[in-house]
Amino acid sequence: MPGSHGLRFEHTRFWVIHRRLEYGPFDYDWSPDLTGVELLYQGVKFGEICSPCEVFADLQEFRLPTRVVHVASIVLGCVILGFSRGYCDREKQALITQMLKEFDCHNFLPCPDECR
């Protein structure tokens, strides 16, 4: 049984655990024209990153808890920044940890081996 808060990773997908409930998977994929990255929740597109200055995301239709949206946004941002900069797994994990701490999401910190 998962803890009361945390993250669970599986390749590019991840789940946010909040109050012992899992929300996800959150994921990303290249847009059909390969000019941007689509943001996905349970396989449904909820946003797109076209450039560093063009980002659209709206999870309202899924009626997720606010804290889940905050944590998922932080993690997706870190994952996409990490792959766009060519970070290794350790560097991506460090970025996720740093940003979750910075935005006061300490109880969602992944275990050291979970971000692979």
Confidence band (pLDDT; 50, 70, 90) for 52?
Answer: confident
Residue 105 to residues 12, 31, 53, 61, Cα–Cα distance (Å): 21, 30, 25, 23
Q: What is the mean pLDDT of the chain?
A: 89
Query: Domain range for residue 56?
Result: 5-106
The answer to whether residue 34 is domain-embedded is: yes
Our count of domains for the chain comes to 1
Q: What CA–CA distances, in Å, run from 112 to 7, 38, 73, 107?
A: 11, 27, 20, 14
Tens of pLDDT, residue by residue over 77-92, are: 999 889 889 999 899 9
**Alpha-carbon gap, residue 70 to 74, rounded angstroms:** 6
Residue 83 lies in a domain: yes
pLDDT in tens, 54-84: 889 999 999 999 999 999 999 999 998 898 8
- Is position 113 within any domain? no
Whether 17 is in a domain gets the answer: yes
Separation CA 105–CA 99 (nearest Å): 8
Q: Is residue 61 part of a domain?
A: yes
For residue 13, how many other CB atoms are within 10 A of its CB?
A: 14
